[in-house]
Structure 1
Amino acid sequence: MAQTTELTIGYFTVIFDEHTGWTGGLLVLNRGGRPVEFQCTLPVRPSRAHEILFGTTLRDHLIGEVIGPILIKKCRTPLSMVCCDQAESLSLSASGGVPVALVGEAAENDEGPITNDMLVGASRVKLAGATLHVPIEHTETVEGIAGRFVDLVDAVEPFERIREAIKEAQSQISRAS
């Protein structure tokens, strides 16, 4: 898809499948919610040694330190901000140079619902009827960006598009094998 210089929102999520592993997807949308670019990773399958060494932090490592940075680096379209549905993705703002916001209504956590104590130091910004949880240092920037996305209908639905696109890519790979 073509590059753009207008404001964009990247939607990032990672799905886990017992058979294929961890696959990340990044969907970049323009202000009207139309796709500008899509990237996804090949499935990442950590070794048993990685599982042992990382223990309970493996999910954090894969989402925030491996898969997310790869997708943001591969992205050819300049990102204004990134919306995610996994709290582990918030660490991307430290390394990516782009503000990252957790979409509250789409947020997931393997241990149950995302709670306020998991979002200490985050402020709330509204985008297309959803609540974005944003690190305080990025609040003003995200408010400015969100205020310019008045034509975006739904801030949660793009995550489903990513999941469906990843499933389609995986089915094409398995058919080609």
Structure 2
Amino acid sequence: MADSETTIAYFTVVEDQRTGWTGGLLLLNSGGRPLEFQCTLPVRPSRAHEILFGPTLRDHLIGEIIGPLLVKKCRTPIGLLCVDQPEALVISQSVSFPIGIVVEAAELEEGPITDDTLIGSGEVTLAGSRLRVPMEQVEAVAAMAKRLVDLPDAIEPFDRIREAIKEAQSQIARAQKPVIVPSAEAA
């Protein structure tokens, strides 16, 4: 089993108009090799959910439903959780390990991240990228980042998650055999 002090998890959610919201969590060792991968089945909110949650639906799905579910399913202890969506930072309220947003990955996904979005956070360098974490966790995360010197990239794991989700969805689609309904003439 991996030492949680040297494990780093990445979490993101992919929204697809056709399939819904699918979350993925990839846990890596200090060198960037995968230890564990978890993903959800697509979540499709009902029209009633869309109406009732309104503009907070995205926050709810990413930070309160999909993220906590994947963290709970993870069997390997997590040392640090990196996210690329600000809505995922709320997961920190229910876990004991630090959570940070990889600024460059978030900006690729979400557009410019302002300091207003990350009030009360400090910056740590992780594998050449900026990681914003709560001020009270800056020292602990900086010490952890020093142990993660072999991590080749802090942004690329999010791409792996998106590709793995895409592959899982295509496998599900291939496994579903088309239903052939006999025509009335064949009866």
Question: How does the TM-score come out when normalised to structure 2?
Answer: 0.90
Identity %: 66
Aligned to 2:145: 146
Aligned to 2:24: 25
The SS at the match of 1:28 is strand
Which deviates more from structure 2 when the two are superposed, residues 154-163 or residues 102-111?
102-111
The SS at the match of 1:39 is strand
**In 2, Cα distance between the equivalents of 1:37 and 1:104?**
24
Which amino acid in 1 is paired with 2:2? T
List gaps (5 residues or longer) in structure 1: none
**In 1, Cα distance between the equivalents of 2:109 and 2:160?**
21
Aligned to 1:99: 98
8 A Cα contact 1:10 1:83, kept in partner = yes
**In 1, Cα distance between the equivalents of 2:152 and 2:85?**
21
In structure 2, the CA distance between the partners of 1:54 and 1:104, relative to structure 1 (3 Å rule), is: same
Aligned to 2:112: 113
Aligned to 2:75: 76
| Deviation for aligned residue 1:110 | 7.8
8 A Cα contact 2:85 2:110, kept in partner = no
Post-superposition Cα deviations, 1:30-69, rounded to whole Å, max 9, x if no partner, equal: 0000000000000000111111111101000000000000
8 A Cα contact 1:82 1:100, kept in partner = yes
List gaps (5 residues or longer) in structure 2: 177-187
8 A Cα contact 2:84 2:109, kept in partner = no
Aligned to 1:5: 3
- After the TM superposition, which residues 29-48 of structure 1 pair with which residues of structure 2 at under 5 Å, given as runs? 29-48=28-47
| Deviation for aligned residue 1:136 | 1.1
Which deviates more from structure 2 when the two are superposed, residues 19-28 or residues 135-144?
135-144
**In 1, Cα distance between the equivalents of 2:17 and 2:151?**
34
Length, aligned pairs only: 175
The SS at the match of 2:174 is helix
Aligned to 2:162: 163
8 A Cα contact 1:32 1:151, kept in partner = yes
Which amino acid in 2 is paired with 1:11? Y
Which amino acid in 2 is paired with 1:86? Q
Question: How does the TM-score come out when normalised to structure 1?
Answer: 0.95
Which deviates more from structure 2 when the two are superposed, residues 5-14 or residues 155-164?
5-14
The SS at the match of 1:98 is coil
Which amino acid in 2 is paired with 1:19? R
**In 2, Cα distance between the equivalents of 1:98 and 1:4?**
15
> Rg bigger for which structure?
2
Q: Once superposed, what is the RMSD of the aligned Cα atoms?
A: 1.4
Runs of 4+ in structure 1 over 6 Å off: none
**In 1, Cα distance between the equivalents of 2:139 and 2:110?**
31
| Deviation for aligned residue 1:5 | 2.6
